[in-house]
Structure 1
Amino acid sequence: MDLGLQNKKVLVTGASRGIGKGISLLFAKEGAEVSIVARNKEGLEKTAQEHPSLYPIAGDLTDEKERERVFKDHMEQFGTIDILINNVGGSVGTTVDETPLSQFQQAMEWNYFSAVHFSQLALPVMKKQESGAIVNISSIYGRESGGKAPYNNAKSALISFTKALADEVISEGIRVNSVAPGSIIHPEGSWQKRVDEDPEKMKKFVRREIPGGRFGTVEEVANVVVFLASEKASWISGATIQVDGGQSHMNM
């Protein structure tokens, strides 16, 4: 299927590895020009070597000034932004009782405020051109319990933000959606580390928790994200789509 993404200008955060890298490469293969953003400069430059349409921008996306600098760099390079993928994030803390407040704040800055801020930076450009797409990468644990509370709380906020912003801007030609991955495995990710540490335990986890019978792949998430960002998804707005092989217990 031709998704009509040739020459679209895309910015993807958290793009040096894993899901963000997979999304960026798929956009590039579809003919888009992509700014890939992450803190790890070496990882970004290595990823950028995999396709000539990838433009690396290193920055600490928990810092407001850094986000502004990154966005300015993207605009100077490409002149506009058609698609924004808010993927950067990560998990911190343990139990609610044992996690310091600073780590709850860190989780929000990383997983939530970065997406809010980049959306605010992109909106004036998208409104002026009367078109644009924003896709936020949340998690199935943004919709139910499981995992660590600071991460869950931030991803839940991101889902709520997605719906609120989508309703605000669809009349101006901008669509906002979210993708909620389940347990996705890739070489540098936490699930691969757990498999390496205790393969039998992880086999039991998959049998118990994932009806699909395996971990998901980066490509399976990227396929949904890129579709949502394309005009083939022109009447989808404010949605959060699970990509989890049936893992989520959420039934709506």
Structure 2
Amino acid sequence: MDLQLKGKNILITGGSKGIGKAIARAFLSEGANVSIAARNNDFLMKAKEELGRDVSTFQADVTNASDRLKLIETFIKEKGTIDVLVNNAGGSNGGKAAETEMKLFYEALELNYVSAVHLSKLAVEHMKKAQSGAIINITSIFGRESGGKVTYNNAKSALISFTKSLADEVISYGIRVNSIAPGSILHDTGNWKRRLEENPEKIKAFVENEIPAGRFGTPEEIANVAAFLASDKASWIVGASINVDGGQSRMNF
């Protein structure tokens, strides 16, 4: 399917590996102008080698407000416009709520929630001028229901709520905001890969008991949904949180 994304300027945070890199590859296949941002320059350069020279890279720590400002400022200076922002940077920390230091709650919110809020607000300023744009926030099924580490769960819940609020505010400017809630995704740099290597029998049992599809999801399956949501083919999807999880979520809506 031609999603008519050719020539669109795309910025993906956390784009040097895993789901972010797969999203970059999906947009490249559609002929878009793709830029990836990450804090580790070595990972960025490795991703550029894999994805091709057409990919632009931006080194930025999205937990740092000044880096976020510089990222959008530099992107606009180089590309002229921003058509699609994918807030993919994220990660989990801590353990049980009562045993997790407050510092880790703040850190999780900064990485998974505040960074996306700030970058979205900055991108919207430019998208309003163009009267078009799409923002896609990568959340989690555990932002919609109980599960996962509490700091991560809380931050992703907040991001899903923000997605709906911002979406309703900016759709009149031609800007669509949505979120994708992945289930358990297996990739080389992810936690599930490490857990699978450490205890294959335990993880095999997890998949059998928790994922009706009977396997882990792939980064490409998230990426395909991201590319669709960014396109005009999804023109009537506004403020949605879409599960991409092989049936893993226990929610019925």
TM-score range with shorter-chain normalisation?
A: over 0.9
RMSD: 0.7
Aligned partner of 1:200 in structure 2 is 201
Query: Paired residues, what number?
Result: 252
> How many Å apart are 1:33 and its aligned residue?
0.8
Secondary structure of the residue aligned to 1:185 is: coil
Aligned partner of 1:140 in structure 2 is 141
Alignment partners' CA distance in 2, 1:232 and 1:52 = 28
Report Cα offsets for 1:167-186 as digits up to 9, x if no partner.
00111100000000000000
Q: TM-score, normalised by structure 1?
A: 0.99
Aligned partner of 2:22 in structure 1 is 22
Secondary structure of the residue aligned to 2:159 is: helix
Aligned partner of 1:170 in structure 2 is 171
- How do residues 93-104 of structure 1 correspond to structure 2 at under 5 angstroms? 93-104=94-105
- How do residues 109-128 of structure 1 correspond to structure 2 at under 5 angstroms? 109-128=110-129
- State whether structure 2 residue 32 is matched by structure 1 residue 35: no
Secondary structure of the residue aligned to 2:35 is: strand
Q: Which amino acid aligns with 2:17?
A: R
Identity %: 58
Report Cα offsets for 1:90-133 as digits up to 9, x if no partner.
00110111111111000000000000000111111100110000
Aligned partner of 1:65 in structure 2 is 66
- How do residues 156-235 of structure 1 correspond to structure 2 at under 5 angstroms? 156-235=157-236
Q: Is the 8 A contact 1:38 1:59 kept in 2?
A: yes
Secondary structure of the residue aligned to 2:162 is: helix
Q: Is the 8 A contact 1:25 1:51 kept in 2?
A: no
Alignment partners' CA distance in 1, 2:117 and 2:28 = 25
Alignment partners' CA distance in 1, 2:108 and 2:252 = 26
> How many Å apart are 1:48 and its aligned residue?
1.3
Runs of 4+ aligned structure 1 residues displaced above 6 Å come to none
- State whether structure 2 residue 10 is matched by structure 1 residue 10: yes
Alignment partners' CA distance in 2, 1:53 and 1:158 = 31
> How many Å apart are 1:51 and its aligned residue?
2.0
Between 1:86-95 and 1:26-35, the stretch displaced more is 26-35
Alignment partners' CA distance in 1, 2:47 and 2:33 = 14
Alignment partners' CA distance in 2, 1:150 and 1:241 = 21
Q: Is the 8 A contact 1:142 1:155 kept in 2?
A: yes
Q: Is the 8 A contact 1:137 1:178 kept in 2?
A: yes
> How many Å apart are 1:34 and its aligned residue?
1.4
Q: Is the 8 A contact 1:4 1:230 kept in 2?
A: yes
- How do residues 72-83 of structure 1 correspond to structure 2 at under 5 angstroms? 72-83=73-84
Structure 2 unpaired stretches of 5+: none
Q: TM-score, normalised by structure 2?
A: 0.98
Structure 1 unpaired stretches of 5+: none
Alignment partners' CA distance in 2, 1:59 and 1:228 = 25
Between 1:45-54 and 1:174-183, the stretch displaced more is 45-54
Q: Is the 8 A contact 1:17 1:47 kept in 2?
A: yes
Alignment partners' CA distance in 2, 1:197 and 1:92 = 19
> How many Å apart are 1:243 and its aligned residue?
0.4
